A and B are shown apart, each in its own frame.
Chain A
Amino acid sequence: MPTDPVIRVDELRRVFRVRRREAKGQRREIEALAGVSLAVDDGELFGVLGPNGAGKTTLIKILSTLLAPTSGTARVAGVDVVENPWEVRRHISMVSGGESSGYGLLTVEENLWMFSQFYGIDTQTARTKIRELLAIVGLADRSRTKIFHLSTGMRQKMNFVRGFLTDPEILFLDEPTLGLDVQTARVLRDYIRSWVDDRPGRTILLTTHAMHEADELCDRVAIIDRGHILACDPPATLKRNLQREAIFRLRIGGLPDVEAAVADVAGIEQLTQTRRDDHTEIDVILDDENALGDLLGSVQQGGGHLHSLEKREPTLEDVFLRIVGYGFEEAEEQIT
């Protein structure tokens, strides 16, 4: 029998009014969420993927009762986040990347114990759980270290443990591996996946702008840009739609603006270019592989020479590029 989604968002909008720098006293409106609708099922690891400024954190803040929507509804564990935030809080926890919470004078274990008290967990259970989780993230030997002595990565591991400590039904992870080294990020990702798999009835909503993270971890991914959900499917389904197209990465020297040089080539679905030190890197999606010959011909005519050419499997970034028409970096530049 199908169950109701544990997170349900309908036509959610959030508008921020910010002061205009150029005109004192006047305010302009920024629409961070522009009518977002989505549903997350029980036991799902759901990803929200988008560039910085796309509206991911705003969405998590509304769902975690830190921010009220301008309009629309959001229900978490069947409870409306505006009408009954207190009840929502009994079901959730949250971890944000780059978080600096806690008190420097307290040790890792003491900080975690303190936060556990806000959920009413008895001391013995809290201590047992803290030791178990610290061992998992490789921070057991630092349990008695005051947190002002911790590195950024270690502090993030501590925050990560804090989020899981209360064994919430629904966990919001807002860029949880932000700024972490590859190995640490890998450990945390493994734990995130196993936490959902091993515990029936536990759900995670994870925001990230790391494509591989969403690809590797999530059961389903919603692609968000400028407050709009553009697609929502399992990563494999999203990528499958692109598999009939040909995706190439080319490195070209002697031609700074490849995009202009190949503007007239037929069959180019999407193209992004990035300037490197001695070459231009382009990612291109073609309707058909046959269009590659024309593209290379135009590059040669424009005075460019090919350094390398690689055919790639589609990634979530390609999906984003295909849907939005520009890449993540470009999207972030447009916002700033």
Chain B
Amino acid sequence: MSQPSRFTIFWRTVRGRAYPRIIGLQREKSWFFFDVFLPLLQVAAYVYIYRVIEAPTEFVGFVVLGGAMTAYWMNIMWNMASQFYWEKETGNLELYIIAPTSRMAILLGMAIGGIVATTVRASVVILVGLLIFRVPMTVTNVPVFAGVFVTTMVALYGLGMLLSSLFLLFGREAWHMSELLREPIFLVSGFYFPVRALGFAIAAAASIVPITLGLDAMRQLMFPEMLSHLRFLSPHVELALLTGSAVLFVTLAQRSLAFMEAYARREGRLTVRGQ
């Protein structure tokens, strides 16, 4: 068998690792209930709170968009960052490590498979918002909106890859970090309200998580009038910062994966299960 090029191995790895996630959607239908229907209830709860206090309709729009983007954050935490922990427990990690492929390719495969599933959930949330909650959603600048969304995704999954490198070295300890990043991020990233409400300093600190800037920019592009006095930064500045975050996180992830793998190999923790 002739040796395929690194490029061929990279893309075939991405395809191979995305496959179980995508095919899993078709074979295990229960995900629709747990990953789509249940999160919708949470969105609905916030929608009815805003309705009861007679908040402007745009607030419902904030919640729906936040609810859609929550799906991606959850996917990053559960199916990207901590995935190497599960792979280690099942014995797959050893096989990933000894294969002549890039860890980034494996993580990219996971990410693509995860994005497909998560986009279904996000789309359902948006559709329900439009059809049932009758949220007036119009995008004022489609190219910038698309740019913000794509850049947010790249930065977000780059952060997920960076976090996943920790699971090469740590076991359960890294779980605590995942937990720590879940609920507080829901608060400080402004999933259900404009982040500016927390004050500039907190919003700036929360911008380390790309979804903070992504959500704020997308909300401004969907509800420009409402956000005119609640915006954090202008969408163009946020897009620029997101681009910087995307480059930073992907680069850091690559270096961190290489470093952590070498370190874990020295410490003998790459294949130790039940840590």
Contacts and interface: CB of A to CB of B under 8 A. Distances in A.
B258 to A, nearest CB: 10
Q: Which residue among B4, B20, B24, B106 has the maximum number of chain A CB atoms within 10 Å of its CB?
A: B20
A125 B8 CA distance: 14
A114 B20 contact: yes
A35 interface: no
Contacts of B265: 65-68, 85
Nearest to A98: B91
Nearest to B1: A167
B90 A90 contact: no
Contact of B266 (A68, A94, A106, A119): A68
Interface stretch (B94-102, B180-188, B193-201, B240-248): B94-102
Give the secondary structure class of B's interface: helix
A100 interface: yes
Nearest to A115: B95
A91 to B, nearest CB: 9
A67 B99 contact: no
Given A89-B99, A119-B100, A67 B268 contact: yes
A13 B24 CA distance: 43
B19 interface: yes
A16 interface: yes
B98 A93 contact: yes
Nearest to B11: A120
B16 A114 contact: yes
Interface string B1-38: 10111001100110111011001100110000000000
A66 B270 contact: yes
B92 interface: yes
Contacts of B27: 105, 146
A102 B97 contact: no
A296 interface: no
Given A89-B98, A90-B3, A101-B95, A66 B271 contact: yes
Contacts of A67: 265, 268, 270-271
Given A61-B271, A114-B19, A102 B92 contact: yes
Contacts of B5: 120
A166 interface: yes
Interface in A145-192: 146, 162, 166-167
B13 A117 contact: yes
Nearest to B12: A117
Contacts of A116: 16
A66 B98 contact: yes
Contacts of A61: 271
Contact of A114 (B4, B17, B24, B97): B17
A121 B1 CA distance: 9
Contacts of A102: 90, 92
B69 to A, nearest CB: 27
A65 B97 contact: yes
Given A65-B265, A125-B1, A119 B94 contact: no
Interface residues of A, number: 39
Contact of A100 (B1, B9, B91): B91
Interface string A82-114: 000110011011101001111101100010011
Interface in B94-124: 94-101, 106
Given A67-B271, A117-B15, A120-B12, A106 B101 contact: no
A117 B270 contact: no
A110 B100 contact: no
Contacts of A114: 16-17, 19-20
A256 to B, nearest CB: 39
Nearest to A166: B1
A251 to B, nearest CB: 41
B204 to A, nearest CB: 40
Contacts of B90: 100-102
A73 interface: no
Given A100-B90, A105-B20, A120 B98 contact: no
A208 interface: no
Given A61-B271, A103-B20, A86 B100 contact: yes
A315 interface: no
A118 B8 contact: no
A64 interface: yes
A229 B268 CA distance: 22
A92 B94 CA distance: 13
Interface string B134-159: 00000000000000000000000000
30 contacts: A61-B271, A64-B98, A66-B271, A67-B265, A67-B270, A68-B266, A85-B265, A86-B100, A89-B98, A94-B95, A94-B98, A96-B91, A101-B92, A103-B92, A105-B20, A106-B23, A114-B17, A114-B20, A117-B12, A118-B9, A118-B13, A118-B100, A118-B106, A119-B100, A119-B101, A120-B100, A120-B101, A121-B4, A121-B12, A122-B12
Interface of A: 14, 16, 61, 64-68, 85-86, 89-90, 92-94, 96, 99-103, 105-106, 110, 113-122, 125, 146, 162, 166-167
Interface of B: 1, 3-5, 8-9, 12-13, 15-17, 19-20, 23-24, 27-28, 90-92, 94-101, 106, 262, 265-266, 268, 270-271
Given A66-B265, A66-B271, 18 more contacts: A65-B98, A68-B266, A89-B98, A90-B3, A93-B98, A94-B94, A96-B91, A101-B92, A105-B20, A110-B23, A113-B19, A116-B16, A118-B106, A120-B4, A120-B101, A162-B95, A166-B1, A167-B1
Closest CB pairs A-B (n = 8): A117-B16, A120-B4, A120-B9, A118-B99, A89-B100, A117-B12, A101-B91, A90-B100
